[in-house]
Amino acid sequence: MTRLLFVRHGQSEANLEGVFAGQIDPALTELGYRQAECTAEFIARTYTVDGIYSSDLQRAYHTGLAVSEKLGLPITTDQGLREIFAGDWEGRKFDELAAEHSPAYVQWHQDIGNAKCPGGETVAELADRIYRTVRRIAEANEGKTVVLALHATPIRTVEWTASGKELSHMQQIPWVTNASVSEFTYENGVLTPVKISQDEHLGT
């Protein structure tokens, strides 16, 4: 069994500005860096960690780096942990997208599991990419505890995969909060949730 700690990145400039980031590369805000430090302290006092992995996008990387520096462990980047490729939506404000009332954006809000970003990935494709990456990391770290610093939509797909339900169920899964920690176990191909969106350490 492998213990997996999925850490959503701290607040990014895109979060602050209401922008659909996807795979563009905004930095963390000052608050985001403080959140990352708080999360690193929480992980250090709560878990014994053996390895740290991160999306190569800087908002996730710098969140994982705070954990890396706190624990004195190296961090490995992996493009497989990136946020969804949002295609035509990348870098656009959510308010602007909502005002267009496009069927694709309506579906993103009403049935995210079956949604597709125009010119980008479907959420089902993202879920497959994330599961394959997580499985590879988990199986390379059998019996260990690893941190994975990544993004909100990928973590939502992890929760969906663990549920074993159809894609439409993803709509019932809430977004995790910035800099939260979601604990899962992985064994024999199966992901099992333990604690989701732990964020009490942030004082929220």
Q: CA 76, CA 114: separation in Å to the nearest integer? A: 31
CA distances from 79 to 61, 99, 102, 119 (A): 11, 32, 29, 19
| Residue that has been written with the tokens 């602007």 in this structure | 96
Q: CA 164, CA 168: separation in Å to the nearest integer? A: 11
Burial grade of 64 (CB within 10 A; 0-12, 13-18, 19 or more) = buried
CA distances from 141 to 57, 120, 133, 200 (A): 23, 31, 13, 28
Q: Is 188 strand, coil or helix?
A: coil
Helical residues (DSSP H) of the chain, grouped into ranges: 13-17, 30-46, 58-71, 94-100, 103-110, 123-140, 152-163
Catalytic residues: 9, 83
